[in-house]
Amino acid sequence: MPKKEFDLIVIGGGAIGLSTAYHAGKRGLRTLVLEQYGVLNNNGSSAGESRQFRLQYAQRYMAELSIASVEYWAELQGYSQKSLVRQNGSLWFGDPALNSQEGGIDAAEKVMDDLHIPYTKLDAAGIEANFPFKGLPKDYSGFFQGSGGIIDLKATEEAAFDAALASGNVDIHEYEPAGDIRSNNSGGVIVDTDRGSYSAAKLAICTGPYVNDTLKPLNLSLGIDIWQMSSAYFAKSDPGVMLPTWFVFQDPSDSALFYGFPEVDWAHPGYIRVATDFPDKILSDPSQRTFVPSPKSLALDAQWVGDHMMGLDSTPRFTSTCLIALAQNSNRELLLDYTPAWGTPNENIVTYTAGWAGKYVPILGDMIVRMLLEPSTALQYGNYEIPLRHFAIDWTNAS
Ligand SMILES: Cc1cc2nc3c(=O)[nH]c(=O)nc-3n(C[C@H](O)[C@H](O)[C@H](O)COP(=O)(O)OP(=O)(O)OC[C@H]3O[C@@H](n4cnc5c(N)ncnc54)[C@H](O)[C@@H]3O)c2cc1C
C-alpha cells in the first residue's frame, strides 16, 4: 500500500520543490513530492540547462540572500560529481542609470559598496579590452564581479533530487498532478490526485508558472505575468573566445536587453548561449505556451551577436523556450508567503512562485521549510536578517 500520511506535501517537483523536499527530508520530515510531469522536465521555469548566479542586486536584501546562498550551494554540491556553479564572473554593462527587472548598474554598485562585495569598474574601452565585445557606445560603463557564474541547472535539480532521496524520508511521485486541496480538519491538508488522497500537517506549493491553477481549490489567485522567453546558441568561430556571464542594460523600449553565458561542456560545447531578456509574449496561463522561439527574438539576438560580439558566428543554431512567472507587483523580486486557506491565514501552507530564483535553489528550500516549522516574519542567515515582507503575496479571491 502506498503511504498516505506525511508531515509535508510539496506540490511541484521543479528545482524549488526538490530543494524543499531535500531540506524537509534532512530534518526528518516524512515528505511527499507530487509532480505532474517527470522531474527535470522542460515544461516550466526550470527548462534548459544554464542559469546565472550573481551576488549583485539593486536591493540589499537580495544581495544578502545571494551571499547567504553560497554555503547552501556548497552543501548541495556534496550530492553531485558535477560542478553546480562555475565561477566565471559576472559582467554588467550598458547605460548605468537604466533600471530593468534585473536591476541596474548604479543601484547594484551602491549595494555592493554597502556590503563590501568586491568588483572592478569598467568603461566601454575597458570592457572591449578585457572581454570579446565590440562596437559598444562610448558612454557605456559597468563592472565585473568575480563571484558570479553559470549554474548547471539540470545537475542542480539532479543533486536536489538525489539529496532528497538520500534522506530516506522523501517519496517523489512523478506524473501525478495535485488536484483538490482540502482541510483535514486538524490544521493540516488533504491533497487529492487521481491515484489517491494524501494527508499532511504542512503543504508547500512550488508550482512555478502553474501556481494559479494549483491555488484554485483554495479559491485564491495571485498577480503574476508569465513570460515565454527564447534563447539561442551561437557557434564559436574563434575557439579562443572566453566569456563570463554577462548582461547588457540598454533602453528596454528598443527590445535591447540581452544576456549571455560562457561556453560550458554540459550544454552544446563549442556554442555560446545568448538570450533576449524580454518576453516573446506574456501569457495568462501556461497552457497558452508554444515551444517555438519567437523569430523576432532570435533575429534581435543574431543582430546583437553580429554587431557586438567577437569570435561568434551570428546564426542561431540551437534554440529553446522557457516560462518565467514574474510578480505583477514591481516591488517584489520573489513571491514567498504563508497562504490563507479556508477563511484564515494559514501558517501550515507556504506558496513560492515567481522571480529569477535559479541562483537561490539550494537556500529557498531551506527558507520554505523553516517558514513551515518556525512561523516567522524574518529569517536569519548568518549576519543577515531577511524580512519576509519583501516577498509578500497580494492575494486575491479567485472567484
Ligand atoms: C529563460 C529563463 C532564464 C532564467 N534565467 C535565470 C538566471 O539567469 N538566474 C536565475 O537565478 N534564475 C533564472 N531563471 C529563473 C529560474 O529558472 C526559476 O526561478 C526556477 O527554475 C524556478 O523553479 P520552480 O521549481 O519554481 O519552477 P518550475 O521549474 O516551473 O517547477 C514547477 C513544477 O511544478 C509542477 N506542477 C505544476 N502544477 C502541478 C500540479 N498541479 N501538481 C504537480 N506538479 C505540478 C510543474 O510540472 C513543474 O515541474 C530563468 C528562468 C527562465 C525561464
Q: Kindly state whether residues 168 and 107 are assigned to the same domain.
A: no
3-state helix, strand, coil in the chain (%, to 5): 30, 35, 40
Quote the domain boundaries for residue 320: 78-152+225-327
For residue 1, is pLDDT > 60?
Answer: no
Which helix (H) or strand (E) element contains residue 111? helix 105-115
15 touches ligand 1 (CB under 6 Å): yes
- Rounded Cα gap, residues 239 and 13, in angstroms: 38
Which residues partner with 86 through β-bridges? 150
For residue 253, is pLDDT > 90?
Answer: no
Angle at 360 between CA 153 and CA 175, to 5 degrees: 55
Mean pLDDT throughout 358-386? 96
Which ligand 1 atom sits closest to the C-alpha of 209?
30
Q: Kindly state whether residues 189 and 165 are assigned to the same domain.
A: yes
**Within a domain: 233:** yes
358 touches ligand 1 (CB under 6 Å): yes
232 touches ligand 1 (CB under 6 Å): no
The H-assigned helical ranges of 197-322 are: 211-214, 295-308
**Within a domain: 65:** no
For residue 357, is pLDDT > 90?
Answer: yes
pLDDT of 290: 83
Percent of the chain with pLDDT over 90: 80
Which ligand 1 atom sits closest to the C-alpha of 230?
1
**Within a domain: 64:** no
More confident residue, 344 or 196: 196
DSSP type of residue 271: E
Contact (CB, 8 A) for 15 and 157: yes
357 touches ligand 1 (CB under 6 Å): yes
322 touches ligand 1 (CB under 6 Å): yes
- Rounded Cα gap, residues 199 and 265, in angstroms: 43
Tell which of 279, 299, 327 closes a domain: 327
Give, for ligand 1, the residue of 207, 211, 224, 319 to mutate: max count of ligand atoms closer than 8 Å to Cβ. Answer: 207
Q: Kindly state whether residues 175 and 318 are assigned to the same domain.
A: no
Contact (CB, 8 A) for 391 and 379: no
37 touches ligand 1 (CB under 6 Å): yes
Mean pLDDT throughout 66-93? 97
pTM of the complete model beyond 0.85: yes
How many folded domains does the chain comprise?
A: 2
Q: Kindly state whether residues 321 and 360 are assigned to the same domain.
A: no
**Within a domain: 239:** yes
- Mean confidence (pLDDT) of the chain: 93
- Of 7, 35, 95, 102, which is the active-site residue? 102
Question: What confidence tier does 399 reach under pLDDT thresholds 50, 70, 90?
Answer: low
Residues in CB range of 299: below 8 A, 6 or more apart: none
Angle at 170 between CA 166 and CA 172, to 5 degrees: 110
**Within a domain: 67:** no
SS3 81: coil
What digits encode the pLDDT tens for the residues 270-296?
999 999 888 888 888 888 888 888 888
Q: Kindly state whether residues 203 and 270 are assigned to the same domain.
A: no
For residue 238, is pLDDT > 80?
Answer: yes
pLDDT of 97: 81
What digits encode the pLDDT tens for the residues 321-351?
888 999 999 899 999 999 999 878 799 999 9
Q: Kindly state whether residues 202 and 348 are assigned to the same domain.
A: yes
Which ligand 1 atom sits closest to the C-alpha of 34?
43
- Of 35, 277, 301, 333, which is the active-site residue? 277
For residue 398, is pLDDT > 80?
Answer: no
Residues in CB range of 247: below 8 A, 6 or more apart: 52, 90, 91, 92, 93, 94, 102, 257, 258, 259, 277
**Within a domain: 251:** yes
For residue 366, is pLDDT > 70?
Answer: yes
pLDDT of 138: 93
Question: What confidence tier does 162 reach under pLDDT thresholds 50, 70, 90?
Answer: very high
**Within a domain: 188:** yes
- For ligand 1, the distance from its centroid to the CA atom of residue 337, given in whole angstroms, is 17
Q: Based on the residue annotation, tell me whether 356 is a catalytic residue of this protein.
A: yes
pLDDT of 2: 63
pLDDT of 60: 95
For residue 191, is pLDDT > 80?
Answer: yes
**CATH code: domain of residue 146:** 3.30.9.10
Q: Kindly state whether residues 31 and 168 are assigned to the same domain.
A: yes
Distance of CA 288 to the CA centre of its chain: 21
Q: Kindly state whether residues 166 and 304 are assigned to the same domain.
A: no
- For ligand 1, the distance from its centroid to the CA atom of residue 355, given in whole angstroms, is 9
- Of 79, 259, 304, 338, which is the active-site residue? 259
* Assigned C-alpha cell, 59: 536591493
Q: Kindly state whether residues 336 and 205 are assigned to the same domain.
A: yes
Of all protein residues, whose CA lies closest to atom 14 belonging to ligand 1?
A: 356
Q: Based on the residue annotation, tell me whether 123 is a catalytic residue of this protein.
A: no
- Rounded Cα gap, residues 272 and 229, in angstroms: 17
Distance of CA 186 to the CA centre of its chain: 34
More confident residue, 174 or 229: 174
Residue carrying C-alpha cell 544581495: 63
SS3 292: coil
Q: Give 308-366 as a 3 state SS string.
A: HECCEEEEEEEEEEEEEEEECCCCCCCEEEECCECCECCCCEEEEECCCCHHHHHHHHH
150 touches ligand 1 (CB under 6 Å): no
172 touches ligand 1 (CB under 6 Å): no
Q: Kindly state whether residues 130 and 269 are assigned to the same domain.
A: yes
- Rounded Cα gap, residues 301 and 312, in angstroms: 12
Residues in CB range of 291: below 8 A, 6 or more apart: 321
Tell which of 266, 297, 327 closes a domain: 327
pLDDT of 277: 86
Q: Based on the residue annotation, tell me whether 359 is a catalytic residue of this protein.
A: yes
For residue 17, is pLDDT > 90?
Answer: yes
Distance of CA 325 to the CA centre of its chain: 9
Residue carrying C-alpha cell 507556504: 350
Which helix (H) or strand (E) element contains residue 392? none
What digits encode the pLDDT tens for the residues 93-135?
998 887 776 778 999 999 999 999 999 999 999 999 999 999 9
More confident residue, 220 or 287: 220
Q: Kindly state whether residues 186 and 250 are assigned to the same domain.
A: no
32 touches ligand 1 (CB under 6 Å): no
Phi-psi region of 367 (alpha: psi -120 to 50; beta: other; left: phi over 0): alpha
Among candidates 193, 142, 154, which has minimal Cα distance to 9?
193
State the distance between the two ends of the chain, measured CA to CA, in whole angstroms. 37
Neighbours of 66 (CB within 10 A): 21
- For ligand 1, the distance from its centroid to the CA atom of residue 132, given in whole angstroms, is 31
- Rounded Cα gap, residues 304 and 362, in angstroms: 33
**CATH code: domain of residue 203:** 3.50.50.60
- Rounded Cα gap, residues 145 and 265, in angstroms: 23
Beta strand pairing status for 141-145 and 120-123? antiparallel
